[in-house]
């Protein structure tokens, strides 16, 4: 019997892309709610209880509500993948970044509750966590994280405003920074999963392209533990050795590049990591390149789904 999958919130940006990725699958049965029924709590409850795996593509409070619906019904069989920020640092949820460490894939396979990482935090954690684990980057290093995302990360309202040529924001939104209080919702997730002792300064921004992302983590080599550009690269390469979704670009290839484009991986579910800089200047810039809706959201959710289905 085919496992049943329910995308709770399938009409939102992340949900739509997950639905598209599952459209041609013959190994699963996808439960679907018509758009006009999306606020029907009874129908939603019915779908949640019937699903083998439910993917929550909802605001935080609605995701918590879905969990409560299952708890109130005494349902302990429906497994969950939550793409919201509601459970990303929760001890009872498995973090859905399969490449996080050597044990994470097995944890996801066996999990009943998986929290899908955020797009910015996927890139940041991918760069920072291996260096902390290798003892290269101290937990109290004063990290700065700068990132730019495609506007689809802002959801339907931002998409509509930027794509509407008659809207003032269409003209204004060539590039802008936001979360100016430095309290972006992904920061607690980055701190928790990188075991950081000092809160990083994170500056996100949005540009006028639909999908794609760059996350930058600049570092001073003299602030690291006996390190060089090659040692930083080796730590990343060793951590992700044998992985096909997270790829560490060689120093030789990186040195030949004139630039790194945020849109280059749009429509793909992989992530590329670059180590830029030189020992002479004493600076290194770590760059993660991904699709904010690919490995940064919908693609990661489907990756987690496939792991859970393999149990």
The CATH number assigned to the domain holding 230 equals 3.30.360.10
- What pLDDT, in 10s, does the model give residues 183-235? 999 999 999 999 999 999 999 999 989 999 999 999 999 999 978 999 999 99
What pLDDT was estimated at residue 153? Answer: 79
**Do 107 and 124 sit in the same domain of this protein?**
no
Q: Which is the catalytic residue, given 119, 194, 227, 276? A: 119
Q: Is 119 a catalytic residue?
A: yes
Long-range CB contacts (within 8 A, 24+) of 40-45: 44/8, 44/69, 45/69, 45/73
Nearest Cα to Cα of residue 202 among 182, 221, 222? 182
**Do 95 and 127 sit in the same domain of this protein?**
no
What pLDDT was estimated at residue 75? Answer: 96
What pLDDT was estimated at residue 89? Answer: 93
Give the strands of the sheet with 53-56, arranged side by side: 29-31, 4-8, 53-56, 79-82, 113-115, 94-95
Cα–Cα dist 242/99, whole Å: 10
Number of domains making up the chain: 2
**Do 229 and 137 sit in the same domain of this protein?**
yes
Give the tokens for residue 25. 């699958």
CB of 190 closer than 8 Å to CB of 200: yes
**Do 25 and 84 sit in the same domain of this protein?**
yes
What pLDDT was estimated at residue 168? Answer: 55
Phi (first) and psi of residue 243, to 5 degrees: -85, 145
**Do 142 and 269 sit in the same domain of this protein?**
yes
Cα–Cα dist 101/160, whole Å: 38
Residue found under tokens 């429509």: 267
What is the domain extent for residue 73?
4-117+297-309
**Do 99 and 193 sit in the same domain of this protein?**
no
Kindly give the parts of the chain with pLDDT less than 70: 164-173
Cβ-in-10-Å burial (0-12, 13-18, 19+) of 119 comes to buried
**Do 132 and 74 sit in the same domain of this protein?**
no
CA-to-CA dists, residue 203 to 50, 147, 181, 184, 297, angstroms? 41, 6, 9, 8, 19
């Amino acid at each position: 019997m085919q496992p049943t999958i329910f995308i709770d919130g399938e009409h939102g940006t992340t949900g739509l892309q997950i639905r598209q990725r599952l459209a041609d699958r013959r190994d699963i049965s996808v439960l679907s709610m018509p758009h006009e029924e999306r606020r029907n709590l009874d129908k939603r409850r019915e779908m949640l209880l019937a699903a083998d795996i439910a993917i929550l593509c909802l605001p935080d409070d609605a995701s918590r509500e879905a969990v409560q619906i299952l708890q109130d019904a005494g349902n302990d069989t429906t497994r969950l993948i939550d793409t919201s920020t509601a459970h990303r640092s929760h001890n009872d949820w498995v973090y859905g970044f399969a490449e996080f460490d050597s044990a994470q894939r097995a944890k996801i396979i066996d999990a009943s509750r998986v929290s899908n990482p955020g797009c910015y935090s996927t890139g940041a954690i991918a760069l920072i966590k291996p260096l902390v684990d290798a003892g290269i980057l101290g937990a109290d290093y004063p990290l700065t994280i700068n990132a730019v995302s495609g506007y689809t990360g802002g959801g339907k309202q931002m998409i509509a405003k930027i794509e509407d040529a008659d809207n003032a924001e269409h003209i204004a939104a060539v590039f802008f920074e936001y979360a100016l209080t430095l309290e972006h919702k992904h920061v607690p997730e980055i701190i928790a999963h990188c075991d950081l002792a000092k809160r990083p300064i994170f500056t996100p921004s949005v540009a006028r392209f639909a999908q794609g992302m760059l996350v930058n983590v600049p570092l001073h080599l003299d602030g690291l533990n006996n390190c060089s550009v090659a040692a930083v690269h080796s730590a990343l390469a060793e951590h992700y050795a044998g992985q096909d979704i997270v790829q560490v670009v060689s120093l030789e290839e990186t040195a030949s590049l004139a630039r790194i484009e945020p849109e280059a991986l749009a429509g793909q579910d992989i992530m590329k990591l670059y180590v830029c800089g030189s020992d002479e200047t004493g600076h290194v810039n770590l760059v993660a390149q991904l699709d904010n809706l690919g490995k940064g959201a919908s693609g990661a959710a489907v990756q987690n789904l496939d792991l859970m289905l393999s149990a």
